[in-house]
Amino acid sequence: MVFLTYRLAQASAGETAGKMASFLIAVWPNHIMSVGLASKEQLLLALMTGILLLVLRSTLAQSNRSVAQYAFGAGLLLGAATLTQPAFMLFPSLLVLLDLLRAVNLKILFLRLFCLYAGMILVVAPWTLRNYEVFGKFIPVSTNGGDVFYRSNNPLATGGYIDRGEVDLSQLGELEANQMGYKLGKEWILANPGQFLKLAIKKQMLFLGDDAVGAYESLKRALGKEGITYIFFKGLSNAYWLLIWMLIFLGWITHRQLYYTPGVMLLVLSVLYLLAIDSVFESGARHHVPLSAALAVLAALPFSRIPDKIGTQ
């Protein structure tokens, strides 16, 4: 992770930012305390960092061949991320938005998208074919999306995980529950737009407000540590989380021009993408873990010394 973060920061904001970002990710308390956890978010962190690096390389590539190769590699990793967390299925929309913001030639945009989807489909297709054999319907990855969507958008929703919504879908089959969940969730949103917006804000606060999942899972839940020990490490995790955001704000103030470069634009869009997903579906502090490398790079921007060279590497 340290190496991937270094390369991502180096490509986005130069050598000095690369060193600083790799340091920030290496000493990140939440990740240190999560080393022993079998967490899908830790896997997604590695995959997402690789995806961002390869997409950026594709964006900065000078030849069509390099564009295609980097995009295809990103697609392979995106396929693995999609199998881990189906919400990543829509991630290519970021590439479209990034290229539109940069007024990229449409031929390059379509080439990059084609290669990205080719890699993604190559990884996901075997599981999709398995689903078709089992269910007799086209189901790209999972059948629980509707259930999650409804539990996230119903009168009992809290913004985080709950066992069931107002209507219990557990008595239905997988496909029926999936279809009914999307139907009931959409109906509730249309009937309660104000409550939906308030719930979305609460979900965003859950997404960004805490960075102590490693302390909770490894110390309190696994080892039963409470009292001063748990409080100290939870406080340390959240203090570091606050420091990261203070550095990001400082970078915005002092190096705002970098936010108009391809690499930093991509990182910002990736943060907004997962934030938007969690504004609709259930949220939680662990959900921002895959963004850690991107946030470390953004936090390293105040230390960048070569803003005039960014985007030409």
Range picked from 34-38, 132-136, 173-177, 297-301 for highest mean pLDDT = 297-301
Dump pLDDT digits (tens) for 34-89.
988 888 999 999 999 999 999 999 988 889 999 999 999 999 999 999 999 999 99
The C-alpha R_g of the chain, in whole angstroms, comes to: 20
pLDDT of residue 10: 92
pTM: 0.91
Q: How far is the C-alpha of 32 from the C-alpha of 240, rounded, in Å?
A: 12
Reply yes or no on whether the pLDDT at 313 is more than 70: no
* Segment 220-267, tens digit of pLDDT: 888 888 889 999 999 999 999 999 999 999 999 999 889 989 999 999
Whole-number Å distance between alpha carbons of 16 and 29: 22
Res 306: pLDDT: 52
Q: Which has more pLDDT, 308 or 109? A: 109
Q: In the predicted model, what is the mean pLDDT of residues 278-294?
A: 94
Out of 59-63, 69-73, 159-163, 298-302, pick the least confident: 59-63
Q: Which has the closest alpha carbon to 160: 206, 217, 100, 213?
A: 206
Rounded Cα distance between 14 and 23, Å, is 15
CA distances from 157 to 79, 100, 190, 273 (A): 30, 36, 15, 22
User: Does the pLDDT at position 312 exceed 60?
Assistant: no
Cα–Cα dist 32/54, whole Å? 26
Least confident of 32-36, 121-125, 202-206, 219-223: 219-223
